[in-house]
Amino acid sequence: MTTRAASWLPLSPGERAVAIEVLVHGPLSRAEIARRLNLSAGSLTRLTKPLLESGLLIEAAEDAVPPEVRQGRPSQPLDVVVGSRSFAGFKITEGMVYGVVTTLRGEIVARCDRPLTTHDPHGAAEVLREMTDEFAQAFPGLAGIGIGVGGCVQGRSLVAESVFLGWEDIPLAELVEERTGLPVVVENDVAALVEAEAWFGAGRGLDRFAVLTIGAGLGYGLVLGGTRVPSPEDGRGVGRRWIVNPNGPLTPDGDRGSAVSLLTIPSIRYQIRAATGHDLAYEEILARAAAGDPMAARVIDEAARALGTLVAQIANFAMPEKILLAGEGVGLVDVAGAAVREAVLAGRHPLAAPVNLETKVSDFHDWARGAAVLAIQVLVLETREA
């Protein structure tokens, strides 16, 4: 289901291109917009008129345009009213729901978390309703809801499969829309995070951009030409057959030496538990590795070298301008960054350009923000066909 946010008319492809350019990169002068989109002055005037009339764009103060993008005579730039609409974003985990409210540019302005005490879909929808009601008290103009789920999502509305939640063919968007009266977009959580980083984060302005997430599982997303590349694998658990060390460990999840068996938090904890009999939290394993504990150091070093190998493979084949490492598991880079860098270099041609690698220890509110940004894309701008 794709429902538009109230009061904004359907956009033509040209109007949508102008709106996205201003939303992501604005405020921008008309001359700069025309240059970026290769438009004549007359075409730009025709395209911006309905955007201004609908209130999606406004004429901002002349000094709002950064000096580096000003061209020619001063002109009144175009911008969006960042606070004119608010969007709720939710990330559902096995035991919690993390929620945020964002502005039209994806800036988080409120947070709210609730335990998820049941995996019954109707019970989960009730939790989302309660959180939405709480947000609506402070932000009565909520324009829509985005929900990120670890799993396979179809049509931006149906959770086809979520192993973490034990769901199959759950019409989550419909369940939440019935309870809140707001339009809802549901998507795989990694896909939503990639969209948010491409528009408003580490990938902003880049033509080729990759995201690798490490946590309870692995996630991967690729942006080409400024657009995320969809894949039938989205939400189905990548990395189980990405072999990065054929002599690596065998764990309950993933083939021997696969990225999943080496890099995910459950696999790292399993290796320590199997070797020592102690069930340690991931942060404790990292701390012990940093302090020189032999077993923890060995497991983390092996994971770091696997990460470097995987990063090199992504750089070799996708050739992104930047790779973002995100998720709650990237703390291993702080502990074993040297091993990561060595493995990256070992997997690259000696004359290859250095890999532009950025790390971001994301909490679940970042994932919820990604869902809100997806709601902005779909509900306001009608981008990205499902």
Q: At 101, is the secondary structure helix, strand, or coil?
A: strand
Summarize pLDDT for 40-70 with one digit per residue, the tens.
Answer: 999 999 999 988 888 888 998 765 555 555 5
- Report the Cα–Cα distance between both ends of the chain, in Å, rounded: 9
**Any alpha helices (H) in the chain, and if so which ranges?**
13-25, 30-37, 41-54, 121-138, 172-180, 189-200, 259-263, 265-276, 282-290, 294-318, 331-346, 364-375
pLDDT at 9: 62
CATH topology classification for 205-361: Nucleotidyltransferase; domain 5 (3.30.420)
Q: Hey, is 210 helix, strand or coil? A: strand
Tens digits of pLDDT across the chain (386 residues): 334 444 456 788 898 889 888 998 889 999 999 999 999 999 999 999 988 888 888 998 765 555 555 554 446 899 988 888 899 999 999 999 999 999 999 999 999 999 999 999 999 999 999 999 999 999 988 999 999 999 999 999 999 999 889 999 999 999 999 999 999 999 999 999 999 999 999 999 899 999 999 998 899 999 998 889 988 777 777 888 899 999 988 888 888 999 999 999 999 999 999 999 999 999 999 999 999 999 999 999 999 999 999 999 999 999 999 999 999 999 999 999 999 999 999 999 999 999 999 998 878 999 999 999 999 988 877 754 43
200 close to 373: Cβ distance less than 8 angstroms: yes
CB-CB contact of 228 with 215 (8 Å): no
Architecture of 13-79 per CATH?
A: Orthogonal Bundle (1.10)
Q: Which residues belong to CATH 1.10.10.10 in the chain? A: 13-79
Characterise 18 by phi-psi region: left (phi > 0), alpha (psi -120 to 50), beta (else).
alpha
Residues in Cβ contact with 164 at an 8 Å cutoff, skipping those fewer than 6 apart: 93, 94, 150, 151, 216
211: number of Cβ within 10 Å? 31
Structure tokens belonging to residue 197: 């980083």
Burial class (CB in 10 A: 0-12, 13-18, 19+), 48: buried
Torsion, Cα 272 248 93 192, to 10 degrees, reads: 150
> Which numeric CATH code is attached to 86-195+366-380?
3.30.420.40
How many whole angstroms separate alpha carbon 107 and alpha carbon 90?
14
Start and end residues for every CATH 3.30.420.40 domain found in the chain: 86-195+366-380, 205-361
Encode pLDDT of 84-123 as tens digits: 889 999 999 999 999 999 999 999 999 999 999 999 999 9
Answer for the pair 147, 113: CB distance below 8 angstroms, yes or no: no
The pTM score is 0.86
Token digits for 203? 């990938």
Query: In which order are the strands placed within the sheet that holds 167-170?
Result: 152-154, 158-162, 167-170
The radius of gyration of the chain's CA atoms, rounded to the nearest angstrom, is 22
